Amino acid sequence: MAFRALIAAAALFAFVPAAYADDPRAKAKEQVEFGIMSAQSGLWKEAAFRWEKAVQIYPTYPKAWNNLAIAYEQQGNFEEARKAYEKALQLDPKNLMIRQNYDLFKEINDRAKRRHDR
Amino acid sequence: MTARSAATIASFVLICGTAACTNFYEIPIETPIQPKMDVSAFQRVLIAGFIGGGTDDVDANLETVRLLRSQLRSKSNLRIIEAEVLPLANIAAGQANRDRIAPVPPLNGAADGQQSAPEVEKESRIRNEKDLEKLQGIFADVAFWKKLGEEYQNPLIVTGTVLFTPQQTAGFVMQEREIYDQFGRRRVVPTRTYMERKGFVLSPKFIFIDGRTGTILYTEKFQEGVLYSAQTNTPALSSYFELMDKLVPSFLNTLSTQKVKGTRVLLK
């Protein structure tokens, strides 16, 4: 069912105006939005793929890095998640939502690390 | 188009519509925490028994074995061996006694320890950490655990100590009190109150032993406590389960991947 929804979303994105084609930020945003819909449908691998693509297209897009970090976290890829959060904060240090996500991530990551070191 | 796929597309259009209006989305996530131990070499686990002590109201050995077996049955891929619960405190006390009177190599193992158990039952009453310490030698008795492992076709053996002791404290605590002013408005005010409280402390130490070699693979120690008002009469068994409930996820995470639920904010 989630997959069908994603196909419908892909169809909607096919109608994105051609003016966006040359603007890397707009292209990256498109990937970010598609990634959000994938994540909301529980398709986290697809979401991660979209956000990876977004940061490739537009590497200074902090929101894309934030979302990518969340996808990595959901997949248990803590090291990559940490790097992505740090990149997001480096690009937008005043963003409280990114900061909050990072703090929550750190709490779990530290707990997992402590257990591992024990 | 079926009604179901129409509903799917309709809900998706709704998501798209909402997405167009907002710039952030709260989303639930489940972060997988990798197990602390690599148990891929084992298909079966034997929760053998624990040196239990503290209050007489709860049989810490029996209750811990039962609880961990039931938790592992539903939350891990390992097969649980349904065996008699070892009276480990008696066995350990028997071994400790024997070693004190006439030192013999620990190779004489489990069976001997069990035979001498009734004689040492009195001595094996465990009230505190100090009493436990005297009996901890059994965990280093490689031959004992290897023999037990052979008996059950070399499983992963879980054992350890469980101390469940009553506690009592008295002192000032912060409490919230409701007050109503002359207009009938309700306010909650923090107040310092002198209280006598009682409860329990649970201190388990879980030891994971390789049934093939008898050696310790991993050890983990926990401590949790709970206090109730002195007027409340909470049964010891309820407190035991209340405290174990807090520790079980961590225990399970030793053997299998656990998921931590949370929420994050996706940004557009």
The predicted-structure confidence for B3-15, as pLDDT tens digits, reads as follows 555 555 555 455 5
Q: What is the pLDDT, as a whole number, of residue B105?
A: 47
Query: How many C-beta atoms surround the C-beta of residue B197 within 10 A?
Result: 17
Q: What is the pLDDT, as a whole number, of residue B232?
A: 85
- pLDDT at residue A111 greater than cutoff 80: no
Per-residue pLDDT reduced to its tens digit, B226-240:
999 888 888 999 999
Q: What is the pLDDT, as a whole number, of residue B112?
A: 46
- pLDDT at residue B115 greater than cutoff 60: no
With pLDDT > 70 as the criterion, what percentage of chain B qualifies?
82
pLDDT average, residue stretch B11-40: 75
B11 touches chain A (CB under 8 A): yes
- pLDDT at residue B185 greater than cutoff 50: yes
Paired tokens of B28: 């639930």
* Angstroms from A63 CA to nearest CA on chain B: 5
Interface contacts (A, B; CB < 8 Å): 85
Q: How far is the C-alpha of A56 from the C-alpha of A31, rounded, in Å? A: 11
pLDDT average, residue stretch A92-106: 96
- Asked whether residue A17 is assigned to any structural domain, the reply reads no
Q: How far is the C-alpha of A1 from the C-alpha of A67, rounded, in Å? A: 23
| Chain B residues close to A29, C-beta within 8 Å | 268
Q: How far is the C-alpha of A29 from the C-alpha of A72, rounded, in Å? A: 19
Provide the strand spans (E) within B148-223: 156-180, 186-210, 216-221
* Angstroms from B38 CA to nearest CA on chain A: 12
* Angstroms from A19 CA to nearest CA on chain B: 19
B25 touches chain A (CB under 8 A): yes
DSSP structure string for chain A: -HHHHHHHHHHHHTTS-GGGGG-HHHHHHHHHHHHHHHHHTT-HHHHHHHHHHHHHH-TT-HHHHHHHHHHHHHTT-HHHHHHHHHHHHHH-TT-HHHHHHHHHHHHHHHHHHHHHH-
Q: For residue B263, give the H/E element and its range.
A: strand B258-267
- Asked whether residue A15 is assigned to any structural domain, the reply reads no
Cα angle: B146, vertex B151, B152; to 5 degrees: 100
Per-residue pLDDT reduced to its tens digit, B79-102:
999 999 999 999 998 887 776 665
A40 with B253: Cβ contact below 8 A:
no
B267 touches chain A (CB under 8 A): yes
A112 touches chain B (CB under 8 A): yes
pLDDT average, residue stretch B134-139: 90
> A89: domain CATH number?
1.25.40.10
Mean pLDDT of the residues in chain A: 85
Q: What is the pLDDT, as a whole number, of residue B183?
A: 84
- pLDDT at residue B43 greater than cutoff 80: yes
Q: What is the pLDDT, as a whole number, of residue B199?
A: 92
Domain spans of chain B, in order of start: 14-267
Per-residue pLDDT reduced to its tens digit, A52-84:
999 999 999 999 999 999 999 999 999 999 999
Its domain, for residue A63, covers 2-10+25-117
pLDDT category at B109 given cuts 50, 70, 90 is very low
Residues facing B30 on adjacent strands: B261
With pLDDT > 90 as the criterion, what percentage of chain B qualifies?
50
Q: What is the pLDDT, as a whole number, of residue B258?
A: 81
B9 touches chain A (CB under 8 A): yes
- pLDDT at residue A2 greater than cutoff 60: no
Mean pLDDT of the residues in chain B: 84
| Chain A residues close to B220, C-beta within 8 Å | 118
- pLDDT at residue B21 greater than cutoff 60: no
- Which segments of chain B does DSSP mark as H helices, in order? 3-21, 60-75, 88-101, 109-115, 117-120, 129-133, 142-151, 236-255
A31 touches chain B (CB under 8 A): no
pLDDT average, residue stretch B31-48: 91
Q: Which of A29-38, B119-128, B194-203 has the lowest mean pLDDT?
A: B119-128
Q: What is the pLDDT, as a whole number, of residue B102?
A: 54
B260 with A75: Cβ contact below 8 A:
no
What total of structural domains would you count in chain A? 1
Chain A residue at shortest CA distance from B15: A37
Cα angle: B46, vertex B52, B53; to 5 degrees: 175
* Angstroms from B130 CA to nearest CA on chain A: 24
Closest CB from A36, A101, A118 relative to B220: A118
Higher confidence at residue B160 or residue B173? B160
Which one-letter amino acid corresponds to residue B27?
I
* Angstroms from A77 CA to nearest CA on chain B: 9
* Complex ipTM: 0.84
- pLDDT at residue A12 greater than cutoff 80: no
pTM: 0.67
B260 touches chain A (CB under 8 A): yes
pLDDT category at B138 given cuts 50, 70, 90 is very high
**Nearest by Cα to B243 from B130, B153, B133, B163:** B163
Under 8 Å between Cβ of B47 and B67: no
pLDDT category at B212 given cuts 50, 70, 90 is very high
pLDDT average, residue stretch B159-185: 88
A108 with B31: Cβ contact below 8 A:
yes
* Angstroms from A108 CA to nearest CA on chain B: 8
